[in-house]
A = this chain, B = another copy of it.
Amino acid sequence: MDLLIKKIIEKQNPTVVGLDPQWDFIPDDIKRKHLLGKQDTITEVCGAILEFNERIISAISFVVPAVKPNCAFYEQFGWQGMRVLYETIDFAKSKNLYVISDGKRNDIGSTMKSYAQAYIGITQVEDINFRAFPSDALTVNAYLGSDGIEPATDLCAKYDKDIFVLVKTSNASSGELQDMNLKFSPIPIYEKVALMCKNWGENLIGQYGYSSVGIVVGATYPDQLKELRSILPYTFFLVPGYGAQGGGAEDVRGAFDNLGLGAIINSSRGIMCAYKKHPTLTFDESCYVEAVNMKNDILSITGKIG
């Protein structure tokens, strides 16, 4: 997690901008520039999405350390959409941002290895070394146990990359399964998964004291955030649910350690749709202004970081 933490300290900003380009979010002027009218295909749609992403990335790249594209919004546009995902990641890397691919991928053995190669490794075939979606981290789901995580942690170790495992997600129904208490240890499922993540990361601890195996915990569950912080001293948190989903700065206080490290807070709609809140600003200005507002909001509870 060193690369992410280094960027957080440099920019004094523990936030990440979600790049989830729902069509409704894209401003009319970007749409008009790319759409032709009756002859429109997915190619034109993808052009608009890529411009939307690149404009956001350019606007925020001096203030924010990381971006998090969610694969679903690209996959819905087929291979053309996945090309936009690649181009978005590539553009964000060119702006020196840390990129978390939010794919929530999960499988076992050689299949999980393929997912991990795709996002945080290298696909090697014959003499070809290929980086499919060259990110710094991938979100993953641990329902399948170690067989689904170790192929990814192997690549974390090899290429100095990270994963974030779903533990306590931000949605209303997350408790249906995650909050069920276990019989033989007096803890809920999410805490069991969190402790598994602690173990998976114990040999991957970097110079700032955090391991390559992070976890996802929603801002909408502040008590669980605080509890998990106390039992996972070297596990970094990716925290969705701030802003549009209802979580505020006070709700994420418990995610941070005494140095203001230990967590990165995600906002997607708050930045992507900032222009709807600021009709007198340009699209790019409004992204920047809301990214700064978010930074200041979170810094008000962490203080100086690092």
A interface residues with partner B (beta carbon < 8 Å): 20, 22-23, 35, 38, 40-42, 45, 70, 72-73, 75-83, 85-86, 104-112, 114-115, 117-118, 123, 125-128, 130, 132-133, 141-148, 166, 169-178, 180-184, 186, 189, 192-193, 196
Q: A70-B107, A104-B106 are in contact. List 7 more A-B contacts (CB 8 A).
A: A23-B125, A40-B126, A42-B130, A72-B105, A76-B117, A141-B141, A143-B143
Contact check: which of B45, B127, B146, B182 meets A125 at CB < 8 Å? B45
| Residues B77 and A123 in contact, CB atoms below 8 Å apart | yes
Docked pose: A76 CA to B142 CA in angstroms:
20
Expressed in whole angstroms, the minimum distance between the Cβ of A52 and any Cβ of chain B is 13
Expressed in whole angstroms, the minimum distance between the Cβ of A283 and any Cβ of chain B is 19
25 A-B pairs (CB sep. < 8 Å): A20-B111, A22-B110, A40-B126, A41-B128, A75-B133, A78-B86, A79-B83, A79-B86, A104-B107, A109-B171, A141-B141, A143-B177, A143-B178, A144-B166, A144-B169, A144-B171, A145-B174, A145-B178, A147-B174, A148-B173, A176-B196, A180-B183, A180-B184, A181-B184, A183-B183
Docked pose: A163 CA to B183 CA in angstroms:
30
User: Given A143-B141, A143-B143, are A72 and B180 also a contact pair (CB < 8 Å)?
Assistant: no
| Residues A75 and B192 in contact, CB atoms below 8 Å apart | no
Residues of chain B within 8 A (CB-CB) of A79 are 79-80, 82-83, 85-86
Docked pose: A82 CA to B46 CA in angstroms:
15
Residues of chain B within 8 A (CB-CB) of A193 are 177
Docked pose: A180 CA to B196 CA in angstroms:
13
Q: Which 7 A-B pairs have the closest CB atoms?
A: A145-B173, A145-B176, A78-B132, A79-B83, A72-B114, A181-B183, A79-B82
Docked pose: A152 CA to B6 CA in angstroms:
39
Expressed in whole angstroms, the minimum distance between the Cβ of A120 and any Cβ of chain B is 12
| Residues A72 and B189 in contact, CB atoms below 8 Å apart | no
Docked pose: A184 CA to B179 CA in angstroms:
12
Residues of chain B within 8 A (CB-CB) of A108 are 169-171, 173
Residues of chain B within 8 A (CB-CB) of A169 are 108, 143-144
User: Given A111-B20, A145-B171, A171-B145, are A128 and B45 also a contact pair (CB < 8 Å)?
Assistant: yes
Docked pose: A115 CA to B72 CA in angstroms:
5
Expressed in whole angstroms, the minimum distance between the Cβ of A286 and any Cβ of chain B is 22
Expressed in whole angstroms, the minimum distance between the Cβ of A303 and any Cβ of chain B is 32
